[in-house]
Structures are given as structure tokens and as C-alpha cells.
Amino acid sequence: MLTGNASIEAFIDALPKVELHVHLVGSASVPTVLELARRHPDGGVPVNEHELRAFYTFRDFAHFAEVYLAVADLVRTPEDVATLVLGTARDLAAQNVRYVELTVTPYSHQRLGMPMPAITEALDRAAREARELHGVRMAYIFDIPAEFGTEAARGTLDHALSHPPRALVGFGLGGAEQVRPRYRDAFRDAFRAARAAGLRSLPHAGEMTGPETIWEAIEEFGAERIGHGTSCLDDPRLVAHLRETQIPLEVCPTSNVCTGQVPSLEAHPLPRMLEEGLFVTLNSDDPPMFDTTLTGEYRAAADVFGLDRAALAGLARNAVTASSLDAAARAEIIAEIDAL
């Protein structure tokens, strides 16, 4: 237990954490991306650190998506997949993260010719080793890259139903929200089938579009959690619905600044979301790409938004509660949080 005089930084470091919104490719550290870029020099990703960090300076979300897909195209073998998972586990373990739901976009790997069984085998092996080597419990969310439309919806669903990793818990939808209306039926059908198979509905929504995308996620996709959801504040009826239902929102402040969704951390809607009584969790999204960590997000919440220990612990508890952990595992981590 920390004493009352311990710094807020030490409190955040010691706080047991759960990460619900982080992407496999986006979690790749700069050294890992450099290794892949040098292994696959035809990928168009810089092969020296200075140029790679400049490559990660995003003009807007469209540019971020372009860079993200370029990095994703470097992941060409099952061993590459496992390396990324274990690198994420190592980085999260250093931040006192107990459990992560890692978003994987298997269609990106399928497009490069990687067989579904091989991807699944790599994910299963990496989850075992993450627990054994780093003490991090790993779960997976398969998400559809919206830009690839109907084919991606079918490919992601096929993988989830026919070759699921043992730790697969959810089904998601990421990428540019603006293209979704074009493929709405395919996305809705895929979510219906995934939910029927027992997977949780965990789509992104309301990051780069308005509240209508969040309503779609709730009403059409049966969302149990919302990735981002920051535009909800533009619709009082939606705010009231989210407050009443307590659908968790996976908020990623630094990500929203880096992709141009908000102008600065100081302007981020997180404090107002908390004031409105919404169920908020704190997450890192694509941490090396945004020069952040989950610990960094908690520090920003303290430094920029002025959240005290009780509020920070509340965010940590929210992430545990919103997770797919069983009741006993949730209780164990919450007891550790309360012990601080």
C-alpha cells in the first residue's frame, strides 16, 4: 500500500491496469518496426529511426491510416505476428498491466497470403508465452478494416468462426468510419453472426464521425463497448442513453490529438464525459505511433485533466469491469486496486 505522501506518479506506476483498446500493429515499438522494415525493404517504411519517427508524425486520420497500413504490410509471417504480440506483452508488463484485449486485424495478414490456421497458431503460442514470460493475460478482438468493405467483413468473420484463437473474446470494426454506410449490410450481418457465436460486439464508433455512428454501433451491431465514442457529447439523447445503459467507452486521448480529432489534450472531452456520468475507460490505442503508453495516458489524466487518485483508480476499476475477464479474475485485480 502506498502512503498518503507518495507522489501521483508513483501511484500511477503502482496502479494495476487493464488495457482494452490497443492494436497489434499499432503496438509495434520503433525497434520492432525498424527490424521489419529492414527485413522487407520493399514495404516503403523508413529503415532508420529518425525517418521512422518523422513518418509517425500524422497530418490527419487519413494519413495515420496510410502509415498504419504500410506498417501492417510488413507483417508477413506468423513469426512476425507472434513477435508483435510478445513485444506488446513485454511493454505492458512494465506498466503493471495485468490483462489486455489486443485488437488484431487478421484480414490484413490474409491479404498478404498468410493462412488462417497459421495466424491462429501464432496468436495462441504468443498468448501462452505472454502469460509465462511476462505475467500478462492476453485476449484477442478480431476487427474488420472498414476500408476493405464486404470482403474484409466476410474474411474476418470466417476466420473468427472457423479458426478462432483460444483467447478470442470479441468482434470489432475499425478504420475510416466515413466508408461504413457503403457496406452497412455486410457489417451488420457479420456482427450478427459473430454475436450468435458468442463473441462480444466491440466496434469503434464516434471517433471521426458524429453520434450517428455510435447509434449505429448500438442499434445495428449490438455494441457492448464503444471504441472511442468521443462525439457522443454532440447528442444529448445519446448522452442520456449512454448514462442510463452504462455502455463502456474506450477513450484514447493522445490518439485523438495525434490523428487530429481534437486540437489538444486540454481540449479533449474526457473531463466532460466523466461529468456527464458516462462509463469511461482509459486506453492507449497505438502507443508507439503516438509516442504514448497506457501509463502515459493515466499521467495525462492527472496532469492535464486534474484527476486525483480516487478518479484514476475509478478509471482502472472501470477497465476491469468492462473487460471479458471472468468474475474471479476481475475481483482479484479490483482488490489490488483497492489495496492502493
Catalytic residue list: 207
Q: Is the dihedral of CA 301, 204, 162, 325 positive or negative?
A: positive
Which three three-digit cell numbers place residue 180? 461504413
Give the integer Cα–Cα distance in Å for 115 and 112: 9
Burial class of 59 by CB neighbour count within 10 A (0 to 12, 13 to 18, 19+): exposed
> How far is Cα 292 from Cα 250, in angstroms, rounded to an integer?
16
Give the closest residue to 226 by CA, choosing from 238, 313, 16, 317: 238
**Amino acid making up residue 283:** N
Cα gap 229→256, rounded to integer Å: 11
Q: What gap in Å lies between CA 205 and CA 243, rounded to an integer? A: 17
